Amino acid sequence: MAAQGHFGSQARVELAGSTKKPVEAVGPAVIAAAQVAAAPATGEQMTVSVVVRRKNPIDKEKLGTPEGRMSREEFAEKHGPAPDSVALVEAFAKEFGLTAELAKEPGRRTIHLTGSETAMQEAFGVTLAHKAVAGKMYRVREGAICLPSELIGHVEAVLGLDNRPQAKPHFRMKNRAAHAADDAAAPNPGYSPALVGQLYGFPAGATAEGETIGIIELGGGYVESDLTAYFGMLGLPVPTVTAISVDGGTNSPSTPDSADGEVMLDIEVCAAVAPGAKIAVYFAGNTDQGFADAIAQAVHDTTNTPGVVSISWGAAESEWTGQAMMAMDEACQAAAAMGVTITVAAGDNGSSDGEPDGADHVDFPASSPHVLGCGGTKLVAAGTAIASEVVWNETALNEGATGGGVSTTFALPSWQSTANIPAPANGTGGRGVPDVAGDADPETGYTVRVDGQTTVIGGTSAVAPLWAGLIALANKQNGGTAGFINPALYAAAGVNAFRDITQGNNGSFSAGPGWDACTGLGSPVGAGVIAVVAPVTASAPVGSGGS
């Protein structure tokens, strides 16, 4: 019996940050209580992701500097999984009847353990139950994970015991009913992504040939014929798009009102503004495990080697466990160290981030201090020029508003120290969100093609791939990856890199001169951003504007 073995005989200690909030069983009344909270099937197999400690910690203060940059090979050698931690987890797994497999990408610290639900309960000191959420059954754990004492300090996170949906896609469809009269008088076909890039001064005729943009997706899919038709309509080359499976996730297109809208928006926006770039789409399940594994796999991918990764999914910080946020933030730290930029949508539900408690919340992973958080504006064009641009807030028409505010989890980064970030509500945290912005209002949204239909979509989901496309253009033009650009962007005072958005609000926060919790530093001035994020060498003068 496992309880008599080496690990089974040890005292159990709670894994920091692992406590999971309870879920009230909801769904059709026909689901009996015994079914809603049924004991798990003893033979049902499952896989969890165990994140172990690094060989050596990353010097976070050097991220965004030449000294803090290294190749994927150097990173794996210096900051890969600690061998003694891997050996301990493998021995632990064997004792409890679980198989262990270390992720194949060099530098990743994820060990996948597979076994029965009952074995997982015994190994991790949890109780698993099947409960209904919105009419669908999920495997649920509540409370904390309790590990044998010897594993404390070696294991940083255990993800996947609970497979409830974790994140939401941050795209918004236009409320056609609310605009029926307006559209009848003057139909609004939306803007092509290429026109938005032109409005923001992305360099005319530039390509991102040879660059790869990674995209994280937690559902939905794309259809090749849609891409062919869409880019043919724009007169642009059809991008090479590769679907990459994470933990068994697949490209699974279904209907236009599904997560397909997110997938197609992401691909079509970044590929249209960065023609020639290859697109690598990492499909994972919508769980904390799937999300964390997708980021880690993309960042450490030595086959596709994306130089920038776009993420348009997230949830309020209050919806995450501490261990999940730490694991994902550490994957973003790894990206920063290896010269990979990560752009993340800041959310579509204003300063509350859609939480019902009436308090302010920021969206994660946009609140990670190692990503570029992307907020939203309402952009009105007059031909090929910008007529006006204000904060996106269409809550009166149920069309959302940009996320933004102050993290209660992550501390104020040094590069935001002079940005006049408001104090966090509960006295902890301090990282301001977003960093930058771009067109997101569905009323001034993007024309995209989804499952054979042409439609207009907005949301901060469009802003993350827009900025990812700009960074891909910069990487091509500058001859090297921009990497972790936040320090350089915030240091670019007086440089014509942003359109400062000074009108509007997202609920609790209002726009104003300089950084604000609605649109960050502002929307991009393409040529200025490309100059600011040019990578520099250690011998370059301090303050020369690189990362």
The answer to whether position 322 is within a domain reads yes
The answer to whether position 539 is within a domain reads no
The answer to whether position 537 is within a domain reads no
Q: What is the mean pLDDT of residues 283-299?
A: 98
Count of helices and strands (H, E) across the chain:
13, 26
- pLDDT greater than 50 at residue 542: no
168-169 and 172-173 beta bridge pairing:
unpaired
Q: Are residues 430 and 381 in the same domain?
A: yes
Q: Are residues 142 and 185 in the same domain?
A: no
Q: Are residues 408 and 524 in the same domain?
A: yes
Q: What's the whole-model pTM score?
A: 0.94
The answer to whether position 184 is within a domain reads yes
End-of-domain residue from the set 159, 177, 211 = 159
Catalytic residue set: 262, 266, 461
The answer to whether position 489 is within a domain reads yes
- pLDDT greater than 50 at residue 327: yes
End-of-domain residue from the set 134, 159, 184 = 159
Q: Are residues 401 and 487 in the same domain?
A: yes
The 10 Å Cβ neighbour count of residue 234 is 18
The answer to whether position 447 is within a domain reads yes
Q: Are residues 155 and 44 in the same domain?
A: yes
End-of-domain residue from the set 105, 133, 159 = 159
What is the per-residue pLDDT for 545? 32
What is the per-residue pLDDT for 181? 61
Residue 36's contacts (CB-CB under 8 Å, 6 or more residues apart) are 25, 27, 130, 131, 132
Separation of alpha carbons 444 and 264, rounded Å: 18
**What are the angstrom distances between the C-alpha of 317 and each of 104, 363, 408, 412?**
30, 6, 8, 16
Selection from 19-23, 125-129, 347-351, 394-398 with the highest mean pLDDT = 347-351
Q: Are residues 123 and 226 in the same domain?
A: no
**What are the angstrom distances between the C-alpha of 79 and each of 294, 317, 433?**
19, 27, 28
The answer to whether position 497 is within a domain reads yes
What is the per-residue pLDDT for 41? 53
Q: Are residues 277 and 193 in the same domain?
A: yes
Number of domains in the chain: 2
Mean pLDDT of the chain: 92
What is the per-residue pLDDT for 539? 39
- pLDDT greater than 70 at residue 178: no
What is the per-residue pLDDT for 30? 39
Geometric angle at alpha carbon 477, from 63 and 195, rounded to 5°: 105
Q: Are residues 121 and 174 in the same domain?
A: no
Q: Are residues 242 and 344 in the same domain?
A: yes
Query: Could you tell me the pLDDT band of residue 33, with boundaries at 50, 70 and 90?
Result: very low
The residue count for the chain: 547
Separation of alpha carbons 487 and 524, rounded Å: 16
288 close to 166: Cβ distance less than 8 angstroms? yes
Q: Are residues 222 and 333 in the same domain?
A: yes
CATH of the domain at 427: 3.40.50.200
The whole domain housing 131 covers: 2-159
Q: Are residues 350 and 491 in the same domain?
A: yes
Q: Are residues 263 and 149 in the same domain?
A: no
